[in-house]
Structure 1
């Protein structure tokens, strides 16, 4: 028998799919534009040796804006927008796997864990090539000396509408490593994001349930979910950050071994090196989680089949 939940979850079969995908693209794009600067800062912090360039998240923000302008915070953003495809693949896989697992188990933690991990596997297979290129673009400017590939001055000044710098980076990656170069760090990405996603969803539902027990009966469920999201994001980010640091270095520096990269990082900077970029990651993931949760739950509410609208407490 299915356990009665305080917060009712809108499942895949409850949705009008046309509305769901139409609203979903807009939501995903808005979230990515909001958090991209923090993602760029996190990448530069993770790749730098020690504190050779920045002394922390705030210092990086100030220096980038001062030396590169606000546009410097959005290096590689246009390329990164192609991850909209992976975003839609992620939510589709998550919802479909939840539905499949529910045929065998009504345990919400199990459904969330399996669906979250599966969704991340599919999404990362699409995202990694885009990340490889966008991270190289992120490292241009102050961080340019930390990457193998550089955009030449004559390329930066022309053909911007045709993604001249992007084509330059892609050409260099292909020339150096072939097609495999676009999947550099794929294993590290899977080792980072599958656990991150698998941890995030169960903790999200767990925190939401615990908050619902503490909150007044008339407290809006959306408010509880908006608080549960960043709590889950902070938990997942802390658990998976060491692998995220390794992933960033593998992709930006062109390394081939996850294990060797991990060993070198620990030998050079100690285990504290595994926390590099954690504050920037939390600053990115926590607000992202609020926007994502509010947006996603609102998206599902707006996408409910008409006959179910009055049956869901909001």
Structure 2
């Protein structure tokens, strides 16, 4: 176990893998259910033209709640929950790549950067098709929504209580219009968004935790410092990568094929300010997500320690 830093890092070889995966599924699902409304709001803000429907994050929240109810905030959630698979793939890839890079370098920043980027590459390959479908579902029920695909009346009315009725309809429309490639629309944009986001988040997370540990009292719980470092890293990464996230959302929802043309049109229509669309919603969603994820993930690793290591560490 790494001893170099004030806040020890539990590495892959220190874990009981059965506990790690069993508890990890529950943790990941809980996090996604908690932050999904903010994810939906972010998507709608990024896709709308100017401020045609919502003036901001809180305006969107209250309007959706009023017009569509609580269910409106969870449109597409059941489909999106399948990203649980990508979440487990992300965690596994991150830990394994960290272990691999440690054979060549002990620099924690380098290990975190390479592992974070690699984990995102693997996860996005699984996530993008799920995102394409769930984002279309997120936009349903919104007045004048700019999606390419709309639910048929009979599906909206007669199948509203069937969990996957709407999902099947959207999947059928995507496949009929674009074939299998339609489910990977925006894949490159997603990679250009989330690989840098992940690669930036992990080094900043460890950096902020280390800096906080220098200022905090010696008896301050490490978990508290990590819980503060998480949202700081999330805000940093979100700010850096938000322009590409706006482009990604428009490519996937509006069915565009060119990242460059989408970027140019966004600048022409809304100026540089358009690059910040949905940033507050993204930070609002990423900050609590980071807190829950960090506390959950670090706790998960601690309870998943191999038995012989449990009494050897003070947290």
TM-score (norm 2): 0.98
Matches of 1:153 and 1:210, distance apart in 2 = 56
Deviation at 1:143, TM superposition (A): 5.1
Deviation at 1:310, TM superposition (A): 1.4
1:90-239 map, 5 Å: 90-142=90-142, 145-159=145-159, 160-161=161-162, 163-239=164-240
Matches of 1:143 and 1:306, distance apart in 2 = 55
TM-score (norm 1): 0.98
Q: What SS does the aligned partner of 2:73 have?
A: helix
Q: What SS does the aligned partner of 2:214 have?
A: helix
Matches of 2:233 and 2:145, distance apart in 1 = 35
Structure 1 residue runs of 4 or more that deviate by more than 6 Å after TM superposition: none
Q: What SS does the aligned partner of 1:157 have?
A: helix
Question: Which consecutive residues of structure 1, in runs of 5 or more, have no partner in the other structure?
Answer: none
Post-superposition Cα deviations, 1:208-263, rounded to whole Å, max 9, x if no partner, equal 00000000011000000000000000000000000000000000000000000000
Conserved 8 A contact 1:8-1:313:
no
Matches of 2:202 and 2:163, distance apart in 1 = 39
Q: What SS does the aligned partner of 1:161 have?
A: coil
Q: Aligned pair count?
A: 313
Matches of 1:6 and 1:143, distance apart in 2 = 52
Matches of 2:15 and 2:258, distance apart in 1 = 43
RMSD: 1.0
- 1:51 matches 2:51: yes
Farther-moved stretch of structure 1 (138-147 vs 300-309): 138-147
Conserved 8 A contact 1:144-1:150:
no
- The 1:67–1:307 alpha-carbon spacing in structure 2 relative to 1, beyond 3 Å, is same
Post-superposition Cα deviations, 1:49-91, rounded to whole Å, max 9, x if no partner, equal 0000100000000100000001100000000000000000000
Deviation at 1:3, TM superposition (A): 7.5
Q: What SS does the aligned partner of 2:46 have?
A: helix
